[in-house]
Amino acid sequence: MSFLSNIFNKNKGTDIDMSVPYTNPIKIEFHSHLIHGVDDGSQAIEHTLDILKVYADMGYEKVITTPHIMSDYYKNGPENILPKVEEIRKGLDERNIQIKFEAAAEYMVDEGLEHKINNNEPLLTFGGDKKYILIELPFMTEPRNFKKVTFDLFMAGYKPVLAHPERYLYYNQNKEKDFEEMVDQGILMQANILSMVGYYSKQVEKAVEYLIDNKMINFIGSDVHHIKHAEIIRRDAFKTKLYRKACNLDLLNNTL
């Protein structure tokens, strides 16, 4: 590393030495769309298996996939998700891909989720007894029932994990207050690797940098929908300073 880039790194307040070879410290990945044909992710089991091979090559030992559940578009549930998990596990065995495979879900905060909580319907969670539940918000505006739903989830014994907070740009104006409120409320935060490598936009990259610098991230996830996403992560993540910085946080991924 050159003298100038050393100074630059110091000014950025980071102690990541990019010249050191890197092994992925994250062994468990838990945000992706790999149940074929149930949402906007993988549409065929062959694609799912190809993507899982990329995860295995990157050093992941377990993938917990999280298909969308939305009352408008994706009316999924344990009944159509879990049988496909079995099918995919068989495919992994046949192709001798060494990776554990499980499923939870990514729930949109909508009327449907509120209804399920109020009716004590079983929700797809991860982390065993910890009952983590991955939730997402619309990209245009915060849903009016966000606070109520998270409160109800806590009351019902779940631990909400907010998917990619950096991608909701309506929090950008007032992120110190908005994100701090969520963290204070006990909501766990999951940042996308694709945000760190600049895949979505500069604004999203800045937002995830803010969350990482302020140690507000509890999990990192890939949010892979297709093989291109997985290939970008394989190509760029380990050489991206922001990703390495995120890996230095007290992450919960490997406890899943």
Give one word for 120, left, alpha or beta, with left for phi > 0 and alpha for psi -120 to 50: left
80/253 Cα distance (integer angstroms): 26
* Binding test (CB under 5 A) with Fe ion, winner from 196, 211, 223, 251: 223
User: Contact region for Fe ion (CB under 5 A) — 137-145, 154-162, 191-199, 223-231?
Assistant: 223-231
Residue nearest to Fe ion (CB): 223
Given the complex with Fe ion, which of 106 and 205 has the nearer CB atom?
106
User: Contact region for Fe ion (CB under 5 A) — 3-11, 12-20, 139-147, 215-223?
Assistant: 215-223
Instruction: Give min distance, CB of 171 to Fe ion, in A.
Output: 17
Instruction: Give min distance, CB of 223 to Fe ion, in A.
Output: 4
For 3, half-sphere exposure in the C-beta direction (CA atoms, 13 angstrom radius) is 0
Q: Please name which of 79, 64, 69 lies closest in space to residue 117, comparing C-alpha atoms.
A: 69
**Residue 166 interacts with Fe ion (CB under 5 A)?**
no
Q: Which residues contact 170 (CB under 8 A, 6 or more apart)?
A: 140, 141, 142
**Residue 29 interacts with Fe ion (CB under 5 A)?**
no
CB atoms within 10 A of CB 16: 16
Given the complex with Fe ion, which of 69 and 216 has the nearer CB atom?
69
Given the complex with Fe ion, which of 106 and 110 has the nearer CB atom?
106
Cβ atoms of residues 104 and 134 within 8 Å: yes
Given the complex with Fe ion, which of 88 and 135 has the nearer CB atom?
135
Give the binding site for Fe ion (CB under 5 A): 106, 223
